[in-house]
Amino acid sequence: MKTLVLYYSYGGNTRRIAEQIQQALNCDIAEIATVTPYTGSYDDVVNQGQREADSGFEPPVRPLDKNPGEYDTVILGTPVWWHTFAPAVKTVLSACDWSGKTIYPFATNGGWIGHTFKDIERTCAGAAVKNGLNIRFDEDSLQTSTAHIDRWIAQIKEG
């Protein structure tokens, strides 16, 4: 079984969890990055994110280091932006053929995960989307217990 951790992170929280999962599973990892970085204050980014999420905007992203098409299992990490996955993740999810793949989603957020996992399921037609991991941060301080995260990683190992 070939496994890829695929993630987007604006502020580093999702990257931190993605790297933890990659190390535990000893699998490949690829980061989604926008061609044009988000700039301005945190509030500017929050507002831009709202405009993008509301309009369904798909920002251009840099070529990925790894091709998700070559993996059976994709562990997909995103921050929650306005109750759903980040626009940069949308760009990649829309561009790939997910049929026959297994996706384990995780989403870092400040307590309002919204419909993030449902939206991933809807967008990745044909994929088996497993139960998602909701990871809460207070700014950059992890609130979800590491035991909870470890258990979620363990069930991926068990397949």
- Give me the residues paired with residue 107 across strands: 78, 134
Residue of the chain from 27, 114, 123, 144 that contacts ligand FMN (CB under 6 A)? 114
Per CB under 6 A, which of residues 43..72 are in contact with ligand FMN?
Answer: 45-46, 49
Q: Which of 157, 153, 130, 133 is nearest to 21 (CA)?
A: 153
40 lies in the site for ligand FMN, by CB under 6 A = no
Task: Tell me how far, at minimum, the Cβ of 140 lies from ligand FMN, in Å.
Answer: 7
Site residues for ligand FMN, window 10-29 (CB under 6 A)? 10-15
CB atoms within 10 A of CB 140: 9
Q: What secondary structure does DSSP assign to 35-51, as a single string?
A: SS---S-HHHHHHHHHH
Q: Which of 111, 93, 114, 104 is nearest to 149 (CA)?
A: 104
For 83, phi and psi rounded to 5 degrees? 70, 10
Give me the least distance between CB of 158 and ligand FMN, in Å please: 27
Question: How many residues of this chain interact with ligand FMN, rule: CB under 6 A?
Answer: 22
Q: How far is the CB of 123 from ligand FMN (least distance, A)?
A: 17
Question: Closest separation between CB of residue 119 and ligand FMN, Å?
Answer: 12
Binding residues for ligand FMN, rule: CB under 6 A, are 9-15, 45-46, 49, 79-83, 108-112, 114, 137
